[in-house]
Every structure is written in C-alpha cells, then in structure tokens.
Amino acid sequence: MPRQEAPRPERPELTLVFPVCDEVENLGLLIDNALSIAGRLAARFEIVLVDDGSRDGSGELIDALCMRDPRIHALRHQSNKGYGAALRSGLREARGELVFFSDSDLQFDLNELEKLLSYTDQFDIVAGYRSPRQDPWPRRWIASSWGALVRSLFGLRVRDIDCAFKVFHRRVLEFMPIESIGAFVNTEILVRAEAAGYRIHQVPVSHRPRRFGRQSGAHPRVILRALSELLRLYRELRRARRVPPAERRCASS
C-alpha cells in the first residue's frame, strides 16, 4: 500500500520507477544520480521507489529519501512479492506522460536515458539493449535461450527482452494489463505491446558488472515461474486470435 504522503502536484512530464529489494548499498548513489539527471531532462518529474519486502535497511533509507525530497515517492510490499509485482506497482503509481524504469543495482548509466527520450516523439516504447552485457556467462546463456524461446513462440524481434532500461508513453501503460509477478514481466509487456500494434524502438545502452548486492534472476524458482507465466500468456493470446473480430468488439464493449 502507498505510504501516507502530502498531495502530489500537477502531472509530471517524466516518472522514473525503480523496484528495490535489498539494495541499501546502491540506493544513495542511484537517487543522487536520478535526481540530477531527471532535473536536467524534465522541468517536472517524480521518482517512484517500490520496496519489495527488503530486509537490509533499504526501506528505512527510502523513508529518509522521501523526507529529503518531495519528488520521491515510495510504495512498500510488506513481504517479497517478486520483481514483476514490484515493477507493476511502480508503473501503476507513475503519473508522468513518459514513464521510465530501471533496476536499482547501478548496472546502468542513467545519463543514457537522454538517448531513449530522443526517440519518444516517433515511438511508443523505447527499449535499451545491453551492449555489451556484463553479467556472468550463465546469466547470458539463460538470457540467450530465453530470447530464442520468446521469438519462436511470439515472433518478438527484440534484441534484449529483459533489459531493465525502457521508456513508455503513458497511453501504453494505461492500456496494458500486466499480470506477471516475476521475471517474465519485461517479456509480457513487450509481447502485449507488439500484439496491440505499439511501435518499439531499440537503443544500445552501457552495462556494468554489479558491485553490491546479489542477483536472483537465475534462481531455478525464478526461471520456473517465468516459464509458467510465459505459457499462460501464450495460451491467452492464441485464444484471442481465434475469436472473430466482431465477437471481440462485443466482448470489450
């Protein structure tokens, strides 16, 4: 549930969303960078932090950051619900006309957000791809296999599906029924967006090795949940394609 905060001002031009789970060592520098960069790119902006059941003091630090700057807003999950659930909460809370999200682990250079924003007049979604990707080889192998599976099932031609460096127009997120609570969330968003006819542009972005904290994306439980959610979306979209257009219009009216 949202923390109790003062009424928020008029709609910002830009929202930056960061899911957080046990990132206390990264948060201070992340927010300093985000405030500086967003202030250069937009006259009105907000930062939304989603604490997904952190147990390392991240929640307390987020509270302090919100007290320090009214442009920072926070949501808290009392227990860890998963990356997708945290991102979904943050995107629903976002009020900006343009909505950006990234991870809280300092593996991306937020200065490169400016590159993505330069394409938002022409495209509905601007998605970064890591060039080169600096994760350990097992994660790179899993990502490559995942990308091949997604392309074979959905025909999605995106180079780096799970890259957490994306900008959306607000209209995309207002349309999007995000259901994933795990690592599948990036794939779900892009597959649904392409199926709806939204235009996606890809931009190379820098990537750094993680310095602090731990990665959980390659955990077998995370992978199995992503596979389950992938199959559920595949069945859903197949059923939708079999419904005649007239029936779809009636169902949505």
Q: Provide the CATH number for the domain around residue 46.
A: 3.90.550.10
pLDDT by residue for the chain (253 residues), tens only, comes to 445 555 555 789 999 999 999 999 999 999 999 999 999 999 999 999 999 999 999 999 999 999 999 999 999 999 999 999 999 999 999 999 999 999 999 999 999 999 999 999 999 999 999 998 888 888 888 889 999 999 999 999 899 999 999 999 999 999 888 999 988 999 999 999 999 999 999 999 999 988 775 665 556 888 888 999 999 999 999 888 765 554 544 443 3
What's residue 38's pLDDT?
97
The strand pairing partners of 19, in sequence order, are 50
Interacting residues of 99 by C-beta distance below 8 A, sequence separation 6+: 14, 15, 17, 91, 167, 168, 169, 170, 173
Considering the domain boundaries, does residue 29 fall inside one? yes
Residue span of the structural domain in which 24 resides: 14-252
Query: What is the rounded CA–CA span in Å between residue 165 and residue 91?
Result: 13
pTM of the model: 0.87
- Residue at 8 is within a domain: no
Q: How many domains does the chain have?
A: 1
How far, in Å, CA of 54 to CA of 217, rounded? Answer: 16
What are phi and psi for residue 25, nearest 5 degrees? -75, -20
Which of 84, 85, 20 has its CA nearest to residue 49?
20
Confirm whether 163 is domain-assigned: yes
CA–CA gap between residue 134 and residue 97 (Å, rounded): 31
* Residue with tokens 């509905």, as numbered in its chain: 124
